Structure 1
Amino acid sequence: MKTYQPITPEIIDKLKAITGPSYVKTDRDILLQYQTDYETNPAMFRVPEAAVLPANAEEISQIVKLANEYDFPITVRGGGTSLAAGAIPVCGGLVLSMERLNKIIELNEEGMYMTVEAGVRTIDMQNEAKKVGLLYAGDPSSAESCLIGGNLATNAGGLRAVRYGVTRDQVYSLEIVTPTGDIVECGRILKKCSTGYDLEQLIIGSEGTLGIITKVTVKLIPLPPYRIDVLAIYTDPKKALYMVPKLLKAGVDPTSVEYMDNSYVRDTADYCQYSDMPHYEDGIYVIITVETFREDELDAKMDTVCTICEESGAVEVLEADDRIWNMRRNVQTSCEMISKVFLTDDVVVPVHKIASTIEKIMEIGENYPFQVKINAHIGDGNLHIVLCKMDMSDGEWNKNVEEFHQQVYAYAYSVGGRLAGEHGIGAKKLKYMEQFTPQGELKVMKTIKRAMDPNLILNPGKVIDA
């Protein structure tokens, strides 16, 4: 890893001249707020040397040019909801917080698009679109706290990805500050384009290593007026998982197909203080959402969903109320009740391999002393594994986690999968990226990084070791 220069009083003065003194933070008590994101393991925490809260792309451009001149690293931070240590300043230096870039610039009903700054909350975009009968389809579980810039940086998936795709599928154009400080617009409000390289798609998912996203124009779509949320409860995980191909081939076109194993059902019900959840002791929850533009179509699809679930072995099929979605959105938070330190993982495999992959992971987990919990977007092949440290020693925890990961990742790649479906690589999976990524693919990535960021200023220690 490259060694950087420290942030000196001279640099602090120059930062204050760019943003104003009140937006440059150097007090340790304040900097402690930036030492981690959603990472719970103190061994990964790192306090930055300074933090800055810019107001716009112009200020960010000046800050990036200063970083190149004085050779200090920049870690961009959105809502601090990363599950891959993506916002931790692992090389020290400067944290650049995007919270002041929080304006919704335009909502165009006729063109069905919205232009916002990178610090706007995802939930606020969804609510603004809904007011005019439109939908912003990006919907990560942390929508109430995450910022759109972070969604773009990690190519977040979320709860509607089965039908509408992931964050990159919602984007027309981006404004970015490049690693050398230029302000560039990538993409346009066009239905199609074959004019040169698709730069906005290169930036999306690059986790702040190829550019700092400052503004985005996203696609909006008509909001379906009819919706049903079905809760199918199983007691046999195999039956729950092997139902998915039948559902996807039935022409239902579900918006969401979510899976919660029984440990999550119990823990999230306890966390949300829901005392009367059905099949609390033995239930596996599959949540299926269907949206339509006609009521008769919704009725027909609901009948199809219920029939498939019942024929595949569901012990009960109900209409899911708001409690179910509240439980699903709190699966990560509920782990805090069980273990102060827990590790959230994110693996993606081909959709038709999701059932066998979950079975394999649970089989692997039986050989380890920690609790293995699984929730998944089973309609798009993306599963989340949580390991709870409980009262294990640090040495025992680290050894077992490493062995578990080696087995799980090797299996995922053997069936055509990858390390992350939506959380990104961050710092947490950097070494596994080097180990499991095909060498030709990794070489191209490193070539792009070095060409765009010759001084390795942006988010070092994340995604790849350039």
Structure 2
Amino acid sequence: MNDIFSYNKITAEITAALKEKIGAHNVCADEEKLEAYSHDEVPQNAYDKKYTAELLLFPESTEHVSEIMKIAYEHKIPVTPRGAGTGLSGGALPAWGGIVMSFEKMNRILELDEENLTITTEPGVVTAEISRMAAQHGLLYAGDPCSGDASFIGGNIAENAGGNKVIKYGATGAQLLALEVVLPDGSVTWFGGKRRKDVTGLDFVHLMAGSEGILGIITKAVLKLMPLPRHSVDLLAAFPDTQSAIDFVPRIITEGGLIPASIEFLDHKALKLAEKYLNTEVPAGNAGAALIIQLENNDADLIEKEFEEIGKLSQKHGAVEVYVADTRSTKDRIWQARKSVPEAVSFFYSRYTKEDLAVPTAMVPRLLEMIREKAEADGLEWIAYGHAGDGNMHCTIISPDCADWHERLHAAQERIYAELIKMGGTLSGEHGIGFKRKGYMKFFLDEAQLELIKRVKLAFDPRNILNPGKLVDWER
């Protein structure tokens, strides 16, 4: 097994061949840039050493990607695809050196097809740009990760990003109809099409979603669109504590009879951290916990009845105050607080692990209580926020600044994961496994499934050059 991780270094001849195929201006060996592009949002102090690419490439077309992969395949050079670098799993880390391929120049929206309700893009398009173009045509792209103002659609697909509206519309994979993919040997193929139904062959489109760049490189994506709801309202419900806030979540559906577009949760520490980072008061900033509940409807009178019903219902179940945001400025203020929390953690702390735990929605209260118990027992801080409506919670565990902080966090993770499994939970809901979490996969998947992942990987990539060292541990 060790020989599949035996790679060649990039020689002057290989560099010259790459320059000839994609242009010298798209080939970079500058040390400062190499370092900047050799990681994502996982802090480098989370790893045992610094991992850096030998060469940075900026393809401008599918043809460029194909030529790069042909050269890499021939010479057995590892290639790490990279989007905007907003990932939280070490997916863009060049674990074996070689090439980092950045897609920032493949940033065109190629087509908006109003008749078939699709939009076709290159992988380097910022997700929010897709949403804006769709909205200009009265349409909705339902993929809505919190990083949407910065993340690339290619990265969203590679991680099957979830985000705020999964409860109503599903994750990124649910928005996919077709993909153009460059395989590790440089061949180009299309999976899927604009069809809404297709069982001709295997469903490679949705195998690619969440495959973390280990099977092929996405160079075009055809995404589903739908009519844009005419009206939306965001409610911020303030609760005295975490338990009452989380207990209210299922009541929205069971008693209210509604499926909101979003149900987001912030505990008290997350609210205060957002205030500190934004240097301003946020609505419900002094609450014990808060829920952001987003409603969408085409009928103005009906949406007013819905948010009034949710407001009354939330107060019946313990909310101390409910803020209604029905203008752009008030909505932005509420969502800015929610979206700033991950950045605030990175800004104010340096020794932490951002977890991406997913459980059946009914287990969210127990999950948060378990996190509190384990963190307190280990003398660690914790902050909880995330997607309460679909059971995906982003709990951050923070260590004091001490010599053994790595060991303390790892020990806490293992204790948390052991309890998570008992709840029917899993290691990652949307951020992916990448390099950061691969060592823990053995706790969540049996050996037969881990071996199957390896076999699928090698079926696509027999030379193991595409994003090697991610998702599962191999014997070295």
TM tier relative to shorter chain: over 0.9
2:264 to 227, 251, 258: 258
Structure 2 distance, partners of 1:379, 1:388, is: 25
Structure 1 distance, partners of 2:153, 2:55, is: 24
Structure 1 distance, partners of 2:387, 2:46, is: 30
Bigger mean CA offset, 39-48 vs 425-434: 39-48
Give the drift of 1:302.
Answer: 1.1
Counting matched residue pairs gives: 463
Match of 2:225 in 1: 220
- Scaled by the length of structure 2, the TM-score of the pair is 0.95
SS at match of 2:293: strand
Give the drift of 1:308.
Answer: 2.0
Match of 2:375 in 1: 365
Structure 2 distance, partners of 1:11, 1:339, is: 41
Structure 2 distance, partners of 1:371, 1:438, is: 32
Structure 2 distance, partners of 1:337, 1:209, is: 31
Give the drift of 1:343.
Answer: 2.2
Bigger mean CA offset, 150-159 vs 334-343: 334-343
Deviations 1:26-81, CA, capped at 9 Å, x for gaps = 12122111122101133534111111001111111111121111111000000000
Match of 1:267 in 2: 273
SS at match of 1:259: strand
Match of 1:53 in 2: 58
The answer on 1:31 being equivalent to 2:41 is no
Structure 1 distance, partners of 2:283, 2:109, is: 41
Structure 2 distance, partners of 1:43, 1:280, is: 31
SS at match of 2:314: helix
Match of 2:341 in 1: 331
Structure 1 distance, partners of 2:283, 2:224, is: 38
Give the drift of 1:310.
Answer: 0.8
Structure 2 distance, partners of 1:382, 1:43, is: 23
Give the drift of 1:336.
Answer: 3.2
Deviations 1:370-416, CA, capped at 9 Å, x for gaps = 321110100001000112344222xx211111111112212222221
Structure 1 distance, partners of 2:127, 2:99, is: 25
8 Å contact kept, 1:41–1:341: no
Structure 1 distance, partners of 2:399, 2:72, is: 38
Match of 1:68 in 2: 73
Structure 1 distance, partners of 2:86, 2:128, is: 14
8 Å contact kept, 2:351–2:401: no
Match of 2:453 in 1: 445
Pairwise mapping of residues 208-247 of structure 1 onto structure 2 (< 5 A)?
208-247=213-252
The answer on 1:19 being equivalent to 2:32 is no
Structure 2 distance, partners of 1:397, 1:308, is: 43
The answer on 1:413 being equivalent to 2:421 is yes
Pairwise mapping of residues 261-340 of structure 1 onto structure 2 (< 5 A)?
261-275=267-281, 277-320=282-325, 321=330, 322-340=332-350
Bigger mean CA offset, 379-388 vs 439-448: 439-448
8 Å contact kept, 2:242–2:288: no
RMSD between aligned residues: 1.4
Structure 2: unaligned runs, 5 residues or longer: none
Match of 1:116 in 2: 121
Match of 1:81 in 2: 86
Give the drift of 1:335.
Answer: 1.4
Match of 2:440 in 1: 432
Give the drift of 1:254.
Answer: 0.3
Match of 2:44 in 1: 41
User: 1:24/1:278 Cα in 2 relative to 1: closer, same or farther (>3 Å)?
Assistant: closer
Match of 1:127 in 2: 132
Structure 1 distance, partners of 2:245, 2:154, is: 35
Structure 1 distance, partners of 2:267, 2:359, is: 18
Deviations 1:85-136, CA, capped at 9 Å, x for gaps = 1111111111000111111100111211100001100011010001011011
Structure 1: unaligned runs, 5 residues or longer: none
User: 1:60/1:337 Cα in 2 relative to 1: closer, same or farther (>3 Å)?
Assistant: closer
1:391 to 401, 419, 426: 401
8 Å contact kept, 1:41–1:342: no
8 Å contact kept, 2:111–2:120: yes
2:366 to 324, 335, 356: 356
Structure 2 distance, partners of 1:416, 1:387, is: 21
The answer on 1:106 being equivalent to 2:111 is yes
Matched letter for residue 15 of structure 1: L
Give the drift of 1:157.
Answer: 0.2
Give the drift of 1:341.
Answer: 3.9
Structure 1 distance, partners of 2:104, 2:306, is: 42
Deviations 1:125-176, CA, capped at 9 Å, x for gaps = 0100010110111011111110000000000000111111000000110000
8 Å contact kept, 2:157–2:172: yes
Match of 2:193 in 1: 188
